[in-house]
Amino acid sequence: MSATFGNRYAMSSFLLLACLAALAPSVCAQSTPICVPSAEVQSALEQVPSYQTADQSKYSFFQARRSAIRTLLQRYPGDVFVQRAYIGSMPRWNTFSDDLKIIAEYQALHDQRPDDGYIAYLYGATLVGRDTPQAIKLFTAALERAPNFPWPHLQFVSIYSTPNFLDKSKAISHAKAFLSACPSAFEGYSLLGGLGDNDLIRQAASQLRRIIPPRKDPDALGTYSMLWSLEFAAHPPSEYDELRKQITADIAHLRALNLENVRQWWAALQEGYKLTNDEMQSDWAGDQSARRFPSNRNLPEEMKWYEDHAYPGSDAPEDKQKAYYSDLLKQTDAWIKQHPNSYYIWSDRLQALDHLDDSPTAEVETCIAKLLALAQADKGPVPLDLVTDYQLVWALYNKKLQPRLQLELAQKSLDQLALESKQPSDDRTSSKTDNEDRAFWVPYNKFSGYFWEADAYVRLQQADKAQDALRHADAALQALKSQINGKDDFRKAYARQESSYWLAEARLAELQGQKLDAMAYYESALLARLDSGSLPVPGEKDDLAHDAHQLWASLGGSDESWKLWYTRRADAIAAQSHLTWENTTDPLPAFQLADLQGKTWQLADLKGKVVFLNFWASY
C-alpha cells in the first residue's frame, strides 16, 4: 500500500488514527514536549539517503529518498519527525506539481480535523514561503490547541527572521520558548546567530557546548560548525584566539573518535581546521571526505583547479582567454575519466569548447549529446529546466550546429518558461525589486526562445516558419521594452535583444534574397548593439559585424566607408568605461553590528549621516 496522501484511504486514516491514539500516543495530548525522535525513528531517519552519490542521477537519488521516506510514513504514520522529513522534501526534491499535491494532502487532513493542532502545524509547514500569512495563522492555532507541542515556535523563528516578516522581538521570544522546551533539539540553535540577542546567543552556545561533546552520532557531529559559529558571535574579536584554542581541543577530541566512515565527522574536521587557520589540514579533510563520499558535485580536483586558475575576465585579451579555456578543456579530459557522469564537468567542458574557435565539431556535438542525456536523467520524466535548455541551445546556435535539435530545445524552453513563470515567488523574501526583475526577465527569456527558434528555421530554410517565430519575438521584445522602468542595466539588456532581433530579420531577408532589406536590418542590429555597449573583445569572433560587412561589400560598399560608418563608432564605445552608479530605491534593513572594538551600532544611531560600511569576516 502506498504511503502518500494521494492514496488518501491509506495515509489520511493513518494520521487521523495517530491523533486519536489508535496507532500511537496522540501528539496533541502529550503533556511533555516532543523534542527529538525516538532512538528507533532516529536510526531509521539516518538510513534515508541524504546526498547524491557519484553514480546516481538527481532523479534516481530523489526516487530513493522519496521511497525511503514513504516507507517510514507507513511504519511511523503519526511521528512528527517523519512527517517533517516528508514535508521538508518538498522544495528540493519534488516538482512544482508534486508540491501542490502534498499541500492538498495536508489541507484535506486539516479540513477533516480543523481543531487538531498537530495537523494545523503540518499543513502550515507546507505553506511557508507560498502563503506565509496563512501559515502564521495555522501555527498560532497549533500553539493554542497544543501548547506543549514546541515545533510551531521554530517555524515562527524562521518566519520572523525573513525580510518581509521581520520582527526580531517575536523571533527571539519564540526561540527562547523552543529552547526552553527542547534544549537538546539542535535545530533550535540554527537561526540564533542572526537574531542579534547576544545574551541568548551566549547562553545557547554554552548549552550546546555541554550537549555536543559527549555524543558521536551524525547529528551531533554536524552541529560542531554551528556551535563554533555561535561562540564567535557571542565573543568580541579580542577573544577569538582563546576560541581557536578551544576549537583545537575540539579537533583533538574529534580525531580521537576516529569516525572515518561518517561524513559529518570529516565536515567538522574540515571546518575546525579552517577556523584555526590550518589550511593544509582543512584541505586534507575536505579531500578525504570527497574521496570517501564521492558525488558529482564539488569534486576536489575541479574545485582545486578553479582555486588556482582565476578567470581572466570577459574583457581580457584573446590570448589569455584562449589559454584559460584551453587549459580547462585539457583538465576536463582527466576529470571525465574519473567522473564520466558528472553533469558539472561536462558543462565545464562545453563552456571551454564554446569559447574556443577551433573546437572540432564532433567534440562539441558529443559534449552536447552527453549533457542532454545527463540532464534528462537528472530530471527523470520531467522536462529540462530553462537554464539547461538555454545552455545547450546557446552552444548549438553559437557553433551553428544541428538546427533541428536547436529548434526542438528552443520550443521546449518556451513551454518550460510558461510553466516556471507561473511558479510563485517566496513571499518571505521577494521584494518590489525582485518582482520588477521577474517582470523584465520573463519576456527577455521568451524573446530568446523565439529568436533561437527563428534562427533554426532560417538554417533549415523554412522562411515562413521563421517569419512566424519572429512575429512572436517582436511581441516579446515590445513587452520587454515596457519593463525597462528607467534601469540602465535593463536598457542595455533590451538593446542586446533588439540587436538579436534585427540580426534574425537580416538573415531571414538574405534567405529570401532581399539583400537591401537585409542590409537595413544589419544596420539596425549593429546600432542596437552599439547602444547596449556590449562589443566583442578585440580579436574575438564577431559574426554580426562579419556578416554585415560581407553583405555590404557584395552590394558595392567600400572598406573605407565601412570604417567611417561602423568601425570608428565601435572603437570609441570599446574604449569607454561602462561602470555606472545606480540609485537604489529599497530602504536599508534594520541592523545591529559590532565593530572591532566591540561597540554595537544600529541603523537608528546613524540616521541622517552618510555611512560607509566595510565588512570583514574574521575567524
**11 or 1, greater pLDDT:** 11
Alpha-helix runs per DSSP H in 482-542? 488-511, 515-532
What pLDDT sits at residue 206?
Answer: 95
**What DSSP element (H or E) covers 593?**
strand 592-594
pLDDT digits (tens, 9 = 90+) for 429-441: 998 888 889 999 9
**230 or 55, greater pLDDT:** 230
Question: Nearest 5°: CA angle at 78, between 76 and 79?
Answer: 65
Backbone φ and ψ of 39, nearest 5° = -55, -40
Backbone φ and ψ of 236, nearest 5° = -75, 160
Given a cut of 60, whether residue 93 has pLDDT beyond it is no
Q: How many CB atoms lie within 10 A of CB 507?
A: 20
Q: Does residue 404 contact residue 81 with C-beta atoms inside 8 Å?
A: no
Residue with cell 495563522: 137
**One-letter amino acid for residue 256 of the chain:** A
Confidence category of residue 317, pLDDT binned at 50, 70, 90: confident
What pLDDT sits at residue 354?
Answer: 92
564 to each of 561, 569, 573, how far by Cα in Å?
A: 5, 8, 14
Confidence category of residue 6, pLDDT binned at 50, 70, 90: very low
Given a cut of 70, whether residue 273 has pLDDT beyond it is yes
**12 or 209, greater pLDDT:** 209
Distance CA 107, CA 120 (A): 9
User: What residue spans define the domains of the chain?
Assistant: 1-149, 197-295, 434-574
Confidence category of residue 91, pLDDT binned at 50, 70, 90: low
Of 147-161, 221-235, 354-368, 588-602, the poorest mean pLDDT is in: 588-602
CATH architecture of the region 1-149: Alpha Horseshoe (1.25)
Which DSSP symbol is given to 586?
S
What pLDDT sits at residue 101?
Answer: 85
Given a cut of 70, whether residue 17 has pLDDT beyond it is no
Q: Does residue 45 contact residue 85 with C-beta atoms inside 8 Å?
A: yes
Given a cut of 60, whether residue 2 has pLDDT beyond it is no
Q: Is the dihedral of CA 262, 268, 270, 273 positive or negative?
A: negative
Q: What is the mean pLDDT of the chain?
A: 86
Exposed/middle/buried for residue 317 (C-beta within 10 Å: 0-12, 13-18, 19+)? middle
| Secondary structure (3-state) at 419 | helix
User: Could you tell me if residue 26 is left (phi over 0), alpha (psi between -120 and 50 degrees) or otherwise beta?
Assistant: beta
Given a cut of 80, whether residue 363 has pLDDT beyond it is yes
